[in-house]
A and B are shown apart, each in its own frame.
Chain A
Amino acid sequence: QVQIVQSGAEVKKPGASVQVSCKVSGHTLSELSIHWVRRAAGRGLEWMGGFDPGNGETAYAREFQNRVTMTQDTSKDTASLEVRSLRSDDTAVYYCVAVGLQGDDWGQGTLVTVSS
C-alpha cells in the first residue's frame, strides 16, 4: 500500500495561484500513476488530470487545461499540482491519488479556500 501525505490547507485571493503537493512512501513515485481529483462543496468528484510514468504522458481535463500544471520530483517522491487564476468556485478539497498495480490510494486531501 502507498502512503500519501499532502500539504496543508491554503487560503488564496481570486486571481492568485496555489500549489498543492503530495509525498508518497511505500513505493517510489516512478512506479505510480498520479492523478488529481477535487471535490467542491455541493458538487461531486471532479478529475483534474493524471500522469503516466510508463510513457511520460500527462493528461488534463478539458475544463482545467489552461489553468493547471502537474509536476513530479522523483528524487523526493513528491508530486505537485499548480492551479492558476483562482476563482471562488475553485474552493474545494484537492486529492492526490496514486495508482499502482494493487489499486489506488488517496491522500487525506488539501482544502483550498479562495476568498477576497
Chain B
Amino acid sequence: EVVLTQSPGTLSLSRGERVTLSCRASQSVSHSYISWYQQKPGQAPRPLIYAASRRATGIPDRFSGSGSGTDFTLTISSLEPEDSAFYYCQQYGTSLTWTFGQGTTVEIK
C-alpha cells in the first residue's frame, strides 16, 4: 500500500506569493497517477490536477503540478484570497485502490 506524506502541514502566505506543496510517496507511483484536490469548508473536494501535471477543466493556470516517481509538487504561482483551502494529493494507480495524503492547509495572511 502506497502511503502519501504531504508537507508542510500548514502554510500562511500573503497574496501574490508563490506556494509550493509537497507530496512524497512511500514507493514509486506508476504512470505518475497522482491527483491534487482543493477543498474549502462546507464544499466537496475539487479536482485540480490529474496525472501529476494535467490541469482539470476550468482550473486557472496559476495552478500547476509536477513530479514523478515518489516526489510530487503542486505550485500556485501567485496566491489569491480564494485559494485559501485544504489541499490533498491522491494516488490512484492501476488498481482500484486510492490513497490520500493527510492534507496541507493554505491560509492567506
Contact = CB atoms under 8 A, between A and B. Distances in A.
Nearest to A35: B98
Contacts of A58: 96
A104 B86 CA distance: 18
Given A45-B88, A103-B50, A103-B57, A109 B44 contact: yes
Nearest to B95: A59
Query: Which of A47, A52, A107, A108 has its CB near the most chain B CB atoms (within 10 A)?
Result: A47
B67 interface: no
Interface string A44-83: 1111001110000111011000000000000000000000
A39 B90 CA distance: 14
Nearest to A4: B44
B47 A103 contact: yes
Contacts of B90: 45
Contacts of B97: 47, 50, 59, 61
Interface residues of B, number: 22
Contacts of A44: 86, 88, 100-103
Contacts, number: 51
A95 B44 CA distance: 8
A47 B99 contact: yes
A116 B103 CA distance: 30
B85 interface: no
B96 A46 contact: no
A107 to B, nearest CB: 7
B44 A106 contact: yes
Contact of A50 (B88, B98, B100, B101): B98
Interface of B: 1, 37, 39, 44-47, 50, 56-57, 86, 88, 90, 95-103
Closest 7 CB pairs of A and B: A59-B96, A47-B98, A106-B44, A44-B103, A45-B100, A50-B96, A44-B102
Given A44-B101, A95-B45, A104-B47, 17 more contacts: A37-B45, A37-B98, A44-B102, A44-B103, A45-B88, A45-B103, A50-B96, A50-B97, A50-B98, A52-B96, A95-B44, A102-B57, A103-B47, A103-B50, A103-B57, A106-B45, A109-B44
